[in-house]
Each structure stands twice: as structure tokens, then as C-alpha cells.
């Protein structure tokens, strides 16, 4: 039985992580879930939140994602993130400003697509602030 899973985190800009790890906890659209070696094949949508990378039963890295998809196999976990940033690089002021701008956009939205985009930006900003305030894992 393998004791590591290959984890890759990719954003449109770059490959952020590519390494064998003990476990990865992902912010699934239906709730957090862990990817371990020998995991059943899964494809899942991700909500805005934090990916926690574990080594020796401890979190070694926390990365904020604005959403995306994860594919998990028994050997590998690949995340395609819309946007990704290490939690220490998040900026509360920028997140608060993004929320305020998105709320203005939501108030002036004339189409369902514009409303959905504004609501998504609000959710991303709120999740970024929550990531800064919490160290769950």
C-alpha cells in the first residue's frame, strides 16, 4: 500500500505545487474532503476555500483557491484552480475592497450572469477573509 499521493495544484498562471504528500484536504462544493493514497477515483467541484497539505500529520502548506475542480485517483490528486494563492500572501484589505466592489456590481446588475459573477466575487472575498481568520487544520 502506498503511503503518499502525488499532489499537483495548477492555476491559469502557473503550477503552484507538485509533490508527493501524505494527505490533502480540499474545499469541495459539497464539503471538505481528504485525498489520501488509494483514494477512490473522484472528480469534484471546489468552492472558494483553503487547500491544506499534510506531512507527518501536520499542515505544511495552506493555499487559498477561488474555486475549480479536483480529480483524485488512487495515486494522484490534481487541482485545477480558477485562482490560487498561498494563505500568507492573502491581503485582508484587498479582499474587503473586492467584496465592496462586488456588492456595488450586484446592486447594479441587470442580467443573471452579472448577478452570478458579483455573487461569486463576494463568496471568494468572504472565503479569503475566513482563510485569514481560521487555521482549522
Task: Map out the domains of the chain as residue ranges.
Answer: 5-87, 90-133
CATH level 3 topology of 5-87: ATP Synthase; domain 1 (2.60.15)
Q: Is the pLDDT of residue 112 over 90?
A: yes
Q: pTM for the whole thing? A: 0.88
Q: Is the pLDDT of residue 6 over 90?
A: yes
pLDDT band of 36, cuts 50, 70, 90: very high
C-alpha cell, 55: 506531512
- 51: closest CA among 73, 75, 67, 74? 67
Spatial separation of the C-alpha atoms in residues 55 and 72, rounded to whole Å: 18
Amino acid at each position: 500500500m502506498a503511503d503518499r499521493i502525488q499532489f499537483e495544484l495548477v492555476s491559469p498562471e502557473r503550477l503552484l505545487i507538485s509533490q508527493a504528500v501524505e494527505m490533502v484536504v480540499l474545499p469541495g462544493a459539497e464539503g471538505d474532503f481528504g485525498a489520501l493514497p488509494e483514494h477512490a477515483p473522484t472528480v469534484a467541484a471546489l468552492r472558494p476555500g483553503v487547500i491544506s497539505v499534510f506531512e507527518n500529520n501536520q499542515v505544511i502548506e495552506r493555499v487559498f483557491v477561488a474555486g475549480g475542480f479536483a480529480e483524485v485517483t488512487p495515486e494522484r490528486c490534481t487541482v485545477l484552480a480558477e485562482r490560487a494563492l498561498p494563505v500568507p500572501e492573502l491581503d485582508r484589505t484587498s479582499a474587503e475592497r473586492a467584496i465592496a466592489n462586488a456588492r456595488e456590481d450586484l446592486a447594479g446588475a441587470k442580467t443573471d450572469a452579472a448577478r452570478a459573477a458579483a455573487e461569486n466575487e463576494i463568496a471568494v472575498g468572504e472565503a479569503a477573509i475566513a482563510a485569514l481568520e481560521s487555521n482549522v487544520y
